[in-house]
Structure 1
Amino acid sequence: MSRKTSHTLRYLLAALAITLASTSLYANDLAVGQPAPPITMTTLDGKHIDLKDLRGKVVIVTFWATWCDPCREELPLLSQYAQQHAKDGLVVLGFSLDTPDQLDQVRSVANNLSFPVGLLGDPHVPGYGRIWHLPVSFTIDREGRLVDNGWKDKEPEWTQEQLDKVITPLLSQQHETATNYSP
């Protein structure tokens, strides 16, 4: 094999390895209209909240960090909206990408939020992929189906307009099981 062919082959193999690695790093099982991947939060006070136990609620799973300026701007809006709509069946789960040595900063932010917060621990979240940009959120309807894939959002930060467009209509829909139930 010539030196040029060998160099080209090494280059192609390296490019393939990078492509495969990046594909697996960002891989996720998210499909709008399909069941959302399972996820469980351990809150800062040690409680466990499992997505499957929130069936019948509209759930926003959001990923953020104290060092993320757009996240710090988004969190108060999301907190206010969550508080206003808790009676309508809205639950927000806030997963912080901060490390345990930043727990004091996370607690400081979490103390001003109306929703539970937990440390993610590992940016590789089964089913959701590697959390590589922040903020990123995923919306799950009352039946446990993904209705908004944050990876596809052109503007990843929640705004009041986005909340009104994506979440508010879900809150007005009744739980299918409840409406189809007959004794």
Structure 2
Amino acid sequence: MSDFNYEFVGGDGKVYGPFTAAQLEGLVVQGRAMETSQARIAGSGQWQTVDVLLASFRADAASTGEGETSSSPLGNPSQLSDQFKNWVGDSGQKASTGSSLGQAPRPSTSTSRPVAAHQEGGNTTLAMLSMIFGILSVTVGWLLCCMPGILGLPAVVTGHISLSQNRSKPTVYGGVGMAKAGLVLGYISLLFTVGLWITAILAPDSDISSIDGTRFGQWVDEPAPDFSVTTLDGKEVTLSDLRGRRVIVDFWATWCPPCIKEIPHFIRLAKEHDPIELTIIGISDEPESKLRQFAQKEGINYLIASDELNFAPYNKITGIPTTFFIDVDGVIRDIHVGYMNYNDIRAAVFP
């Protein structure tokens, strides 16, 4: 075999080659490539130690009756790349062996350690981070307002960087399996998050009178059953005490994209109207601590309560957001399931 078809990892962690088997063996003899250095057939993904690779070559050559002939252990030195010549001239391996391209070869004193495959480097920091972010994205990510993609993005970024480092310096950077796991989990989280938001944006408005009349229809134009809830600021609010003002009761959750999309409309209405004229109450069954954190982040300026009303018609809710519009006499004038834009909300409040 006279073609250059072998490459190996130098002491500086870079991959050099290609070399013929004769050239590679000559470098080992002169001590510039260790028998325990990682090597492979150029372009393949399987790494082995130099001694194992050369032994395989000799065995194949013996079985076929072929072999390489060269007047120099290095083949033709003029064919070596300038980059490799510079490396073998400056590396610490040359200093330790006292040999050069012009000196007589001397046997290597290294001990052969057959290794079946390439051993990864020990630096797995980014690979580990990718896997951790990936795991968090499909677990803790759900606590961030239905946004697993928040943690999925860094999982993807660190995973790609880790794999790139491993390809360029395989003996320095490892953790390929962890990086790939992080990438898979990260991409799943990103795609799922994007899908949720696209669904929320494209989902058509749904009016209760057309899609859910059998569940809530009997409550329209009927007095709203009274209830009391404790808001995040510790005040108890009773629906019957709000007679004389219009009331919006919105059943929602922090993990619900359509609910989140409606919040700016409620904030705007709360700014435009005095609480004596219009009171907005958002009710979720999530913990107060989570609701408080979310409300502060979004700048919610209307009443928020953590509660679960287990009586009709409030216990008939199976989809959110579900919004009750109650007039000044405490009568339910409309019930809407699904997202509503600002103009539709205002029209339902002030028909």
Q: TM-score range by the shorter chain?
A: 0.5 to 0.7
Q: Which amino acid aligns with 1:139?
A: F
Structure showing greater radius of gyration is 2
Alignment of 1:8-27 (within 5 A): none
Extract unaligned runs of 5+ from structure 2.
1-213
Does the Cα contact within 8 Å between 2:216 and 2:335 map onto a contact in 1?
no
The whole-number CA distance in structure 1 between the counterparts of 2:236 and 2:254 is 22
The SS at the match of 1:70 is: helix
Distance in 2 between residues matched to 1:72 and 1:84, nearest whole Å: 20
Q: Cα deviations across residues 117-151 of structure 1 (Å, max 9, x unaligned)? A: 1101x36344322332111110000011000122x
The structure carrying a bigger strand percent of its residues is 1
CA distance in 1: counterparts of 2:228 and 2:344, whole angstroms: 25
2:295 to 94, 102, 110: 110
1:62 matched to which residue of 2?
250
Contact 2:224 2:326 in 1 (8 A): yes
For 1:37-116, what aligned pairs fall within 5 Å after superposition? Answer: 37-86=225-274, 89-98=277-286, 100=287, 103-111=288-296, 112-116=299-303
Identity of aligned residues (%): 33
Query: Does the alignment pair 1:159 with 2:336?
Result: no
**2: distance between equivalents of 1:28 and 1:161?**
23
C-alpha distance in 1 between matches for 2:281 and 2:343: 20
1:31 aligns with 2:240: no
Structure 1's unaligned 5+ residue stretches are 1-25, 170-183
Detail structure 1 runs of 4+ shifted over 6 Å in the superposition.
26-29
For the Cα contact (< 8 Å) 1:34–1:145, is it kept in 2?
yes
Contact 2:246 2:279 in 1 (8 A): yes
97 and 54 in structure 1: CA distance in 2 versus 1, 3 angstrom threshold: same
**TM-score normalized by the length of structure 2:** 0.36
Which shifted more, 82-91 or 139-148? 82-91
Distance 1:137 1:115 in 2: 15
User: Does residue 130 of structure 1 match 2:316?
Assistant: yes
What is the root-mean-square deviation in Å for CA atoms of aligned residues?
Answer: 2.3
TM-score by length of 1: 0.66
Tell whether the 8 Å contact from 1:57 to 1:142 is kept in structure 2 after alignment. yes
Aligned residues: 136
